[in-house]
Amino acid sequence: MAKTTYSVLQRAVKEYGNDEQMRMAQEECSELTVALSKYHRSEISGDKRKFNRAAESVIEEVVDVEIMCRQMHIILGNEDAFSTVRDFKLNRLEERLNKLESKRK
């Protein structure tokens, strides 16, 4: 993460506080859930304009969630734990994909 990005995120945590930023993370995750639902509905509807707007909304909400997740790293402060869990989850995903691939052969 770029130093300036990290500095801005640190300032946000300091200014608003841990509890408020955790609540904001919840809110942003909820907004992403809504945006994804609208995306799927617009895809089914066949309305290209609605679909494009829904896709833009998903992009915006994903970025909001990414920003809040980075702030959770700052708040919780245990990068080793994040790395350990991330590695575990990615390895598990890879194992599942390998099993699926081997079933197809």
pLDDT, tens digit (0-9, with 9 covering 90-100), for 49-100: 999 999 999 999 999 999 999 999 999 998 899 999 999 999 999 999 999 9
User: Residue 6: is its pLDDT beyond 70?
Assistant: yes
Query: For residue 1, which of 60, 74, 84 has the smallest C-alpha distance?
Result: 74
Q: What is the pLDDT of residue 2?
A: 65
**How far apart, in Å, are the Cα atoms of 67 and each of 51, 53, 74, 99?**
24, 21, 11, 33
Question: Largest alpha-carbon pair distance within the chain?
Answer: 55
In this prediction the pTM is 0.87
Query: For residue 65, which of 34, 19, 87, 39 has the smallest C-alpha distance?
Result: 34
Query: For residue 41, which of 31, 29, 50 has the smallest C-alpha distance?
Result: 50
The model's pLDDT over 37-57, given as tens digits with 9 standing for 90+, comes to: 999 999 888 889 999 999 999
